[in-house]
Chain A
Amino acid sequence: EVQVAESGGGLVQPGGSLRLSCVVSGFTFSSYGMNWVRQAPGKGLEWISLISSSSSATYYTDSVKGRFTVSRDNAKNSLYLQMNSLRAEDTAVYYCARLNYGDYGHFEYWGQGTLVTVSS
């Protein structure tokens, strides 16, 4: 059974930093690209970052470029999102999601999300 679990969310002040983690099981982590997708309260879904299976490629949406960094540790079946210079508009539930085939495809498996609140 595939399992995806995010952690690391919480309350942080504007300008602060937070590191999210995502641990997976039930599939060969090193064979799949992974993503972070967020959802602000009462709003729709927003893709923010993708990292390829071997970490050779990373992609970001413009609003987080230069502030967020995605990484992974295939030996630990773990995905990370380092978030710096946080803003109020970064407040959201952050989901970790696996692509459905290799480094391509749609978001097949999702965690339950972790809430990040940016507020003073």
Chain B
Amino acid sequence: EIVLTQSPATLSLSPGERATLSCRASQSVSDYLGWYQQKPGQAPRLLIYDASNRATGIPARFSGSGSGTDFTLTISSLEPEDFAFYYCQQRAGWPLTFGGGTKVGIK
């Protein structure tokens, strides 16, 4: 099983600041890595697929990078609606797995 480790667990930032979230895989997943945003009581929303491609309707302030085992989700300037949980997910091997999540909270 491919284990995804997200860091930090919690990120406390102010609106307008830059957020950098990390996801590390226990073995190479090539670029088969996605990122999701989830707010309390809501379903997850796909932000980035295959490491660096923004999903439909996702603002340009969200960007993804990386390949192999190390990946980054960057939010260039936090908007109030961006404070949420973020999960990475790999589709390179079975079972499909998610990281443990990063909470982006208001400082």
Contacts and interface: CB of A to CB of B under 8 A. Distances in A.
A104 B44 contact: no
B46 A108 contact: yes
B60 interface: no
Interface string A95-120: 10000100011111011110000000
Contacts of B94: 59
Given A104-B91, A106-B91, A113 B43 contact: yes
A61 B95 contact: yes
B11 interface: no
Contact of B96 (A47, A62, A110, A112): A47
Given A45-B98, A59-B94, A106-B91, A100 B43 contact: no
Nearest to B42: A112
Contacts of B100: 44
Contacts, number: 57
A112 B55 contact: no
A50 interface: yes
For the residues of A in contact with B, the DSSP-based class is strand
B89 A110 contact: no
B87 A45 contact: yes
B25 to A, nearest CB: 15
A113 to B, nearest CB: 6
A46 interface: yes
A46 B55 CA distance: 21
27 contacts: A35-B96, A37-B44, A44-B87, A44-B98, A45-B38, A45-B44, A45-B87, A45-B89, A45-B101, A47-B97, A59-B94, A60-B95, A61-B95, A95-B43, A95-B44, A100-B55, A104-B91, A105-B50, A105-B91, A107-B44, A108-B56, A110-B44, A110-B45, A111-B43, A112-B42, A112-B43, A113-B43
Interface of A: 35, 37, 44-47, 50, 59-62, 95, 100, 104-108, 110-113
Interface of B: 34, 36, 38, 42-46, 49-50, 55-56, 87, 89, 91, 94-101
